[in-house]
Amino acid sequence: MRLRSAPLRGSKQKIFHAAIRLFRAKGFSATSMRDLAAACGMEASSIYNHYSSKEEVLQNILFERATEFFAQLDPILRMDLPAPMLLRMAVDRHVRVVTSDVDASMVFVQEWRHLTEPHLDHFISLRHQYRDYFIEILQKGIRTGLFRPINEKFAAVGLLSTLNALHEWYRPDGPLSISEIARQLSDQLLFGFMSTREDDLGPVMNTEEWNNSGNLESVNRNT
């Protein structure tokens, strides 16, 4: 996957964040370089000192966001924990990235189709790789008997579709905190996969790791 680029500074950072807001409000196709320049208080020609095209701005937004998702999920897959715990943690990390910038998340989910080759193929490959991480967790749960037999790919796509829709309704001043949203979503998704009821999962549910996985603030600090 693409490595994280150097931190943006000055005018380039200003253009980057203005583009996120405009792409969400108007869509990539309806946003012109002139719109972008006006939002930044710059001349249109000045934009080209930092980005060669509108698509290059979009590329930077999308691949930077992808890097953030992978950076959160990669450490989880190296943990030797039962699949339900891994899934709960993966959901929590994904929710945190989505809600950290809902405008960028909307652009990430909806505007990637405007990429051209070879960037489109690269982005699709990253999407599949990220989806496969969730498939791997589901497969582990099925192998160990903690998840019932399901179509792992279908389940992973459905799960990610639910999580990615957060940008449509999440509000920082809403009644639920990010931790509460992650916990409720993971429980709703998780127990739809379980092969038995929660109160029959004594060996797993009563472990210290499971209890800590509900307190994801501490888990996140330690990974």
Q: Using one digit for the tens of pLDDT, what is the confidence trace for 122-177?
A: 999 999 999 999 999 999 999 999 998 989 999 999 999 999 999 999 999 999 99
The CATH code that applies to domain 7-52 is: 1.10.10.60
Confidence of residue 215 (pLDDT cuts 50, 70, 90): low
Q: Can you give the residue ranges of every domain in the chain?
A: 7-52, 54-221
Q: Using one digit for the tens of pLDDT, what is the confidence trace for 39-64?
A: 999 998 999 999 999 999 999 999 99
| pTM (two decimals) | 0.82
Two structure tokens written together for 206: 């009563």
Q: Which CATH architecture has domain 54-221?
A: Orthogonal Bundle (1.10)
Q: Say yes or no: do domains 7-52 and 54-221 share a fold.
A: no
